[in-house]
C-alpha cells in the first residue's frame, strides 16, 4: 500500500513539474566607463544587486530606492555581468562591457519599451533570410546580415555568425559606428558610435565548427547619403575581426514588424 502511494505521489509531482517549461531570460547589453556614471531607473525598488566583478561599481542613488548608479572601477575592466532583483521579484540581467564614451547614460525600464524590444527581437530571430550576399569573412569565420526590421523607432539586425575554423572564436566587443564614406586630407574624418539597445542570441564564444544566429537592436538614428553604418565584431586576443558596412540604401529596406 505504501509503495502504491509513493508511486502515485511521484507521478503527481512529475506531472506538476512537467507542466512548467524553463524560460531563458536574455541579458541586456550595458556599456559603462570609469569617467561617467550610468543610471538605471527601475519600475520599483531595488532589493539586491550582484556584481560579477569587483571592477564594476554599483550603488543605489541617495534618496531613491529604484535608481542604480553603475560605473567601471578602472579603464581595464573586463566584460562582466550584473544582476538586479526588485522588491516585486522581477529579475534584470545585464552583460556589462567597458566603453570609454558610452552613448546612453540613462536607461529606464518598466515603461513597456524595454520588454517590447525583447519581444520584437525574439520575432526577428525566427524570421526567414532577407539577404543572401551581405556577408564578410576572415580566416574561416564569417558574419552575415540575414535581415533588417524596424518597429517603434528601433532597428533590428538579424545576424548569422559562423566559425568554420578549428579554434573557438571569442567575442571581445560588438560595436557600431556612423562613418564618412570618403576621407580627405583637408577635412577631418568624423564618426559617431551607437550603443546597442538590446542583444539576443549572440554568446561571447562561438565554438569551432559552430554557427549562431542573433539579433541586435539599435535605437533611433539617421544616416545621410555621405555616411554609412559600420558593424565591428572584435575577436578577443586574436586578429579575426569582422567588419560589415551598411549604406543608407540597404538600411531603408528594413521591413516593419
**11 within domain boundaries:** no
Is 0.85 topped by the overall pTM? no
51 band by pLDDT with thresholds 50, 70 and 90: very high
**64 within domain boundaries:** yes
**20 within domain boundaries:** no
- The reported pLDDT for the residue numbered 5 is 45
194 band by pLDDT with thresholds 50, 70 and 90: confident
Residues 99 and 212 in one domain: no
* Pairwise CA distance, residues 38 & 58, whole Å: 9
Average pLDDT over residues 175-184: 82
Residues 181 and 64 in one domain: no
Please state the domain count of the chain.
2
Q: Which domain holds residue 47?
A: 28-111
Q: Residue 138 above 90 pLDDT? A: yes
| Residue entry with cell 521591413 | 255
Closest C-alpha to 124, from 217, 230, 29, 23: 217
Residues 6+ apart with CB under 8 A from 16: none
**242 within domain boundaries:** yes
Q: Is 75 exposed, middle or buried (CB count within 10 Å of its CB: 0-12, 13-18, 19+)?
A: exposed
* Pairwise CA distance, residues 193 & 60, whole Å: 28
Q: Residue 103 above 70 pLDDT? A: yes
For 236-247, b/e burial (b = at least 16 CB within 10 A) is eeeebbbebebe
Q: Residue 40 above 50 pLDDT? A: yes
| CATH assignment of the domain containing 63 | 2.60.40.1080
- The reported pLDDT for the residue numbered 117 is 82
- The reported pLDDT for the residue numbered 13 is 45
* Pairwise CA distance, residues 101 & 189, whole Å: 18
Residues 107 and 127 in one domain: no
Q: 3-class DSSP state for residue 8?
A: helix
Q: Residue 234 above 80 pLDDT? A: yes
CB-side exposure of 59: number of CA atoms within 13 Å? 9
Which secondary structure element, helix H or strand E, spans residue 174, and what is its range?
strand 169-180
Q: Residue 16 above 70 pLDDT? A: no
Residues 101 and 127 in one domain: no
* Pairwise CA distance, residues 129 & 100, whole Å: 35
Q: Residue 44 above 80 pLDDT? A: no
**2 within domain boundaries:** no
Average pLDDT over residues 20-35: 80
Last residue of a domain, which of 84, 111, 138? 111
Average pLDDT over residues 24-31: 83
Amino acid at each position: 500500500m505504501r509503495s502504491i502511494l509513493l508511486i502515485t505521489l511521484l507521478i503527481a509531482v512529475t506531472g506538476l513539474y512537467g507542466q512548467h517549461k524553463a524560460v531563458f531570460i536574455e541579458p541586456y547589453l550595458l556599456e559603462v566607463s570609469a569617467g561617467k556614471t550610468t543610471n538605471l531607473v527601475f519600475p520599483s525598488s531595488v532589493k539586491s544587486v550582484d556584481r560579477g566583478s569587483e571592477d564594476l561599481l554599483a550603488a543605489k542613488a541617495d534618496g531613491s530606492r529604484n535608481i542604480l548608479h553603475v560605473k567601471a572601477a578602472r579603464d581595464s575592466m573586463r566584460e562582466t555581468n550584473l544582476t538586479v532583483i526588485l522588491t516585486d521579484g522581477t529579475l534584470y540581467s545585464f552583460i556589462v562591457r567597458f566603453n570609454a564614451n558610452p552613448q546612453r547614460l540613462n536607461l529606464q525600464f518598466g515603461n513597456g519599451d524595454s520588454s517590447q524590444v525583447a519581444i520584437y527581437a525574439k520575432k526577428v530571430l525566427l524570421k526567414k533570410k532577407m539577404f543572401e550576399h551581405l556577408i564578410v569573412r576572415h580566416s574561416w569565420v564569417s558574419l552575415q546580415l540575414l535581415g533588417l526590421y524596424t518597429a517603434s523607432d528601433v532597428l533590428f539586425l538579424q545576424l548569422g555568425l559562423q566559425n568554420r575554423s578549428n579554434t573557438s572564436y571569442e567575442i571581445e566587443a560588438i560595436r557600431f559606428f556612423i562613418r564618412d564614406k570618403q576621407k580627405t586630407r583637408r577635412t577631418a574624418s568624423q564618426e559617431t558610435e551607437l550603443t546597442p539597445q538590446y542583444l539576443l542570441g549572440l554568446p561571447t564564444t562561438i565554438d569551432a565548427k559552430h554557427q549562431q544566429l542573433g539579433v541586435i537592436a539599435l535605437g533611433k538614428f539617421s544616416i545621410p547619403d555621405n555616411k554609412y553604418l559600420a558593424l565591428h565584431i572584435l575577436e578577443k586576443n586574436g586578429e579575426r575581426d569582422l567588419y560589415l558596412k551598411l549604406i543608407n540604401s540597404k538600411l531603408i529596406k528594413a521591413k516593419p514588424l
